[in-house]
Amino acid sequence: MPRNYEWLTLSRWAKEYGDIVYLEAFGQPLILLNSYKVAKDLLEKAVYADRPHLEMARLSGFDKTFVLQRYNEDWRRQRKIASQDLAPRMVPRYHTFLESEARFLARDLLQDPSRLAHLISLKAGTILIRISYGHYVSTDDDPFLTLIRASMSVFTRSAAAGVFSVLLDVRVNSNIVTVKYLPPWLPGTKFLAKAKGWRDIVRKAVWAPYAKSKHSLESGGALLPNTCATALAAIGDGLSPDLEEQLVWAAGTMTAGGLETLIIGMLNLILALILNPAVQAKAQAEIDTVIGRDRLPTISDQVSLPYVRSVVVEVFRLNPPIPLGVFHALSQDDIYQGMHIPKGSIVMANIWYDEGPACEHERTLRESVLRHMLHDPEVFTDPMEFRPERYQNLDFEMEKVTSAVFGFGRRSCPGKSLAESTLFAFAATVLATCEIVPKVDKEENDMMPNVTYSSGIFR
């Protein structure tokens, strides 16, 4: 089993074995979906909307977050709260806020570009906490931001054994393999000892900002709209302790689910603009022509700035923040193209998909393949190059990316519209106000960034 950069290994297997790869470890079936068509065909069915039971998630306190919830009533209630607030028709309520945050960020970056990573991380936290709870975070030591970061660090550490730890994890849960038999690279017994502390951190990270949000709402001090306020207004007098618990976890999942992904998106955007000055100049020229220099672009200018939009889409394609999506699980036996897919299978969409260097039987395999995903040279010529022109400013070309990078079916990302608006606001504002250039050394030579991507759930 690959332990690092799993999407690359999976892509090699895809090339060798085709669109659907069946693996088994300790009797646990794992299905890898390597084409867009197959991922869509399968994952859009309700029976694929489950998540596997993750002992790792339970131990670290993430089992109540709806991203990892089974396909059950708690998931439905939490998902509804998030989807109602983040639906494409609702997100424009946050546009003015997102635009002004993009402007503050551009101002801060101009003042001190050396704090880029730090400023982006703070801004992602500010946006998500403001939208979820109506509380405005302006400094890094804000207690809610600190707590959410601590809980994300728990998540990252508990998932540190890599995506494939899930197989061992499933077995741990069914007592077939006990922790002492797990390989040494799994966090093991130390992990168990730490688990209690981690659960406490995660619980506090979701309850504390909610309690503040509710209190601010009652005292008239909350920034509106926000997800908690909207949900509380809809619930009215019917707020039972159980429903409140679901609201708390829904808001917590939104904040945590968006944090890393927004940071990754914004950092990759800046990187792409540094590495591709011609793209930057072309996007700036589009803004100059369409918007002029008397005002700053807004999110509603998206329609008339297709090249800037393409730049954002190309950032998502080249560097999908969750290259293998989040695992789905199959709740009933299924038959697809004559293949039997057993109930209980863990199902993974290879959103990344690349073909790597050509090999002998590539041609034969390609004939059997319909549409691969974000690095398929058949769909995206020279897939490792950053080239927004490939979309020809056409929405349906861009949708080849946006319909895959946010996942599939009932579990697809509820934050899609917010993420697209946030990234567009950031891209358009930074392009309109800044020259994004590499650092220079003492001799004025460009120092190009040395980039290493992490492996694990987020890339």
The verdict on 170 binding ligand HEM (CB under 6 A) reads no
State which residue, 187 or 407, has the beta carbon closest to ligand HEM.
407
Work out which of 84, 331, 412, 433 binds ligand HEM, going by CB under 6 A.
412
* Entry field: residues in the chain: 459
Tokens of 417: 């519209």
The verdict on 419 binding ligand HEM (CB under 6 A) reads yes
Q: Is residue 42 helix, strand or coil? A: helix
State which residue, 232 or 251, has the beta carbon closest to ligand HEM.
251
The verdict on 10 binding ligand HEM (CB under 6 A) reads no
Q: Is there a binding annotation on residue 359? A: no
DSSP readout, 317-368?
Answer: HHS-SSTT---EE-SS-EEETTEEE-TT-EEEE-SS-B--S--TTHHHHHHH
Contact in structure between 61 and 194 (CB atoms under 8 Å): no
- Cβ 321 to ligand HEM shortest distance, Å: 5
Task: Reply yes or no: is the peptide bond before residue 225 cis, omega within 30 of 0.
Answer: yes
The verdict on 411 binding ligand HEM (CB under 6 A) reads yes
The verdict on 77 binding ligand HEM (CB under 6 A) reads no
Size of the site for ligand HEM (CB under 6 A): 28
Contact in structure between 36 and 404 (CB atoms under 8 Å): yes
Residue 51, phi-psi category: left (phi > 0), alpha (psi -120 to 50), beta (remainder):
beta
The verdict on 407 binding ligand HEM (CB under 6 A) reads yes
State which residue, 105 or 291, has the beta carbon closest to ligand HEM.
105
Work out which of 150, 274, 326, 434 binds ligand HEM, going by CB under 6 A.
326
Query: Cα dihedral angle (143, 145, 151, 153), rounded to 10 degrees?
Result: -120
Query: Which residues from 247-276 bind ligand HEM, rule CB under 6 A?
Result: 253-254, 257-258, 261-262, 265
State which residue, 126 or 284, has the beta carbon closest to ligand HEM.
126
DSSP readout, 122-175?
Answer: HHHHHHHHHHHHS----STT-HHHHHHHHHHHHHHHHTTT-TTHHHHHHHHHTT
Q: Is residue 62 helix, strand or coil? A: coil
- Cβ 99 to ligand HEM shortest distance, Å: 16
- Cβ 86 to ligand HEM shortest distance, Å: 6
CB-based contacts of 104: which residues, under 8 Å, 6+ apart?
Answer: 123
State which residue, 85 or 186, has the beta carbon closest to ligand HEM.
85
What does the alpha-carbon distance between residue 407 and residue 398 come to, in Å, rounded to a whole number?
Answer: 15
The verdict on 321 binding ligand HEM (CB under 6 A) reads yes
State which residue, 72 or 189, has the beta carbon closest to ligand HEM.
72
The verdict on 125 binding ligand HEM (CB under 6 A) reads no
The verdict on 414 binding ligand HEM (CB under 6 A) reads yes
- Interaction site with ligand HEM (CB under 6 A): 66-67, 79, 82, 86, 253-254, 257-258, 261-262, 265, 321-322, 325-326, 328, 405-408, 411-415, 418-419
Report the binding-site residues: 413
Report the binding-site residues for heme: 413
